[in-house]
Structure 1
Amino acid sequence: MGISVVLLAYKEAENLTFLLPKIKEMMDSLPEEYEILVIDTKEPLDNTSEVCAQFGARYINQEFPGFGGAFKTGIKYAEKDKFLILDSDGSHDPKYIPSMYKKFTEENCDLVIGSRYTEGGETNDAKSSIIMSHILNGFFRVCLGIKAKDISTDYRLYRTEQLKNVELENVNYDVLQEVLLRMKQNKPDLKIGEVPISFQKRIYGESKRRLIPFIIGYMKSLVRFTFIRYPILRNIFLYGVFGVLAFVLDYSVSLGLAKTVMKEVPEAASIIGNIAGFIFTFTTNTFWNFKVKGKFLARAASYGGITLLGMGISTACIHLFKNSMNFALLKLIVLVFVSAMQFVLNKLITYNEKIIKSENQ
């Protein structure tokens, strides 16, 4: 039992001098033991270690890169069953700790957020940052299926065991959304509470966030998290990408052979191009898209059979409607229909998840 209070520091010694006494005062008012962990940069950049020693905080150098790496380091070394994290720049006032703890324990929450955007909360950040924050929160709420109003802040109280049971990959601030997604995957009925806070500007120093890399990183993560939550969308996307690349490969090989060594037998050139496209799509979908191993020949036969079926349907449709429709439009419609059909059949047969799971057990 107890609470691990975690602060991620990057040249924050001056702020920690003011913050640590306030944290200790609030923690002393709670009926639980606690520890304070300050996760500093891999190589010290100021006298943070001396400040930690002065106020009885445990000083740890981060072992993984970026903000996400500092967060993971904190999780690794937390020894209590509750995990409280807040900014080390003074923007998160420790006075809200008791109310967050009360909500956490009385309502049996898995996570409590010190929220700027729930009723009663406020932020004194710049207007541009507020607008961007609202936009990001809106997109990520939909993407993650999280109903909390403020999911881009790191003023949070977690259950340590739940944090230790997730694998985090992001190295930037978007790890704050990733951890919610991973926790919800492990516990679909994840209970999140919010306590209103007033977010203040940092006491000393400058923000470490850089706007353009920050936005680009979040856009990438939005797509990645959507694919994690809905893996079928990732499968469809990659299936389409590999299909387009296979078409280019097929066309290039066929055309190249037909114009050089197979001028007299363009049909043979076309067949070789088809085979090259088939090998490419089967290999990429097997190892990169659906990520399966074993029974390679059986899967190849299944994939090949479905490919031949698609070719038969495509040829029949073109033969039936070639005189009544524009060929380019007909080819496009047939291509979309056949590709969708092949994806569904491969998903159900070649890459059936139940079969794959039984093979891996």
Structure 2
Amino acid sequence: MSVSSSSPMVTGLSVVIPAYDELLNLRELLPEIKRVTQQLQNFSTEILVVLPSIAEPEEIQEIKDFGATVIMRQPTDSFGDALRSGFAAVSESSEFVLVMDADYSHNPLAIPRLLAASSGAHVVVASRYTHGGTTANSLLLKIMSRLLNLAYSIVLGINCRDISTNYKLYRRSDLKNIVLNCKDFDIVEEILFKVKSIHGHSFVIREVPDHFYERKFGVTKRQLGPFIISYFRTLVRLKISSKKK
């Protein structure tokens, strides 16, 4: 009598990385993501790098040579369109979508811990502000970030200390069922709010402590003044929309 053994189920993971003039960082980040994800048991991983229209052919080819898929932002080069374009390109076989920054401020070594915390959760956050998390930001940026996260948590009723980080693990099924409108970095908060709105009181979010590093190369694309204004404008808009439901 022969004994048949079933193969373990493979779970799809899509890593979405919006990038704008970040080739120097991607040269170090992409191999490390690949190294970490290849060690995952029973996961099949795709890496999607979302580039602006100004990306040079040489940059595109070099990123492909690292084993990543290149997606071009549509219809504009905004950060919001980068995430929308990346989400639209995610493989239908993926259960999870992980979003990371391209500047190497997010440590790929956190990926296994995020996945390990995903059972029963709708969103898992690589958190600077939960117990054990840290950040390399200046004192001023830490204070501003803390105040921003506190405001979003209280006003929108999201039990999370680090709402504003882009380093989060989502379920593809949730991202398919939300419509995102923000153009800039405030889309990060919009995603979380709208995923929470889908599930209501059953929404489960977990925070995994992580360290936020300073970027390795280049300068940040975030301008502090417009950044703050857009975030609080979005906070008001999301609060108003929640009252209409």
C-alpha deviation, 1:144, in angstroms: 1.5
**Greater RCO between the two (CA within 8 Å, min separation 6)?**
2
Equivalent residues of 1:3, 1:35 under 8 A apart: yes
How far apart are 1:151 and its partner, in Å?
A: 0.3
Aligned partner of 2:96 among 65, 82, 87: 82
Structure-2 separation of matches of 1:192 and 1:120: 17
Query: Which structure is larger by alpha-carbon Rg, 1 or 2?
Result: 1
Residues 21-170 of structure 1 aligned to structure 2 (within 5 Å): 21-30=31-40, 31-44=42-55, 47-65=58-76, 66-79=78-91, 80-105=94-119, 108-170=120-182
User: What is the distance in 1 between the residues matched to 2:129 and 2:75?
Assistant: 31
User: 3-state SS of the aligned residue for 1:171?
Assistant: coil
Aligned counterpart, 1:209: 222
Structure 1 residues 157-196: aligned runs within 5 Å: 157-188=169-200, 189-196=202-209
Separation in 2 of the partners of 1:224 and 1:46?
39
| Deviation readout 1:106-162 (Å, 9 max, x if unpaired) | xx2111000000000000012221111001101100121100110000101110110
Structure 1 residue 49, shift from structure 2 partner: 0.9
1:13–1:46 CA contact under 8 A, matched in 2: no
Compute the RMSD of aligned alpha carbons.
1.3
* Cα separation, 1, equivalents of 2:86 and 2:203: 22
CA drift of 1:48 comes to 3.0
Q: Does the alignment pair 1:12 with 2:12? A: no
- Stretches of structure 2 that go unaligned for 5 or more consecutive residues are 1-10
How far residue 47 of structure 1 moved from its aligned partner, in angstroms, is 4.1
SS of residue matched to 1:209:
coil
Corresponding residue for 1:231? 244
Displacement, 1:43?
2.6
Take 1:91 and 1:49, find their aligned partners in 2: how far apart are those partners?
A: 22
Work out the CA distance in 1 between the residues paired with 2:180 and 2:59: 26
Q: Output the amino acid matched with 2:104.
A: G
Distance 2:166 2:218 in 1: 19
Give 1:268's aligned residue: none
1 or 2, which has the higher helix percentage?
1
Q: Distance in 2 between matches of 1:213 and 1:46?
A: 31
Shift of 1:50: 2.3
Change (3 A) 1:130 1:64: farther
CA contact (8 A) 1:11 1:46 kept: no
- Residue type of the partner of 2:179? E
Q: Residue deviations 1:202-245, cap 9 Å, x none?
A: 0100000001111111121121111011128xxxxxxxxxxxxx
> Which residue type is aligned with residue 26 of structure 2?
L
Q: Deviations over 1:288-331 (max 9, x none)?
A: xxxxxxxxxxxxxxxxxxxxxxxxxxxxxxxxxxxxxxxxxxxx
Instruction: Check conservation: 1:16, 1:51, Cα contact below 8 A.
Output: no
Is the Cα contact below 8 Å between 1:42 and 1:62 reproduced in 2? yes
Q: How does 1:274-285 map to 2 (within 5 A)?
A: none
CA contact (8 A) 1:64 1:72 kept: no
Q: Distance in 2 between matches of 1:48 and 1:12?
A: 10
Q: What aligned pairs does 1:240-259 form with structure 2 within 5 A after superposition?
A: none
Structure 1 gap segments, 5+ residues each: 233-361
Mapped to 2, the partners of 1:125 and 1:174 lie a distance apart of 19
Aligned pairs for 1:297-312 (under 5 A) are: none
Percent identical pairs in the alignment equals 37
Q: Letter of the aligned partner of 1:91 in structure 2?
A: S
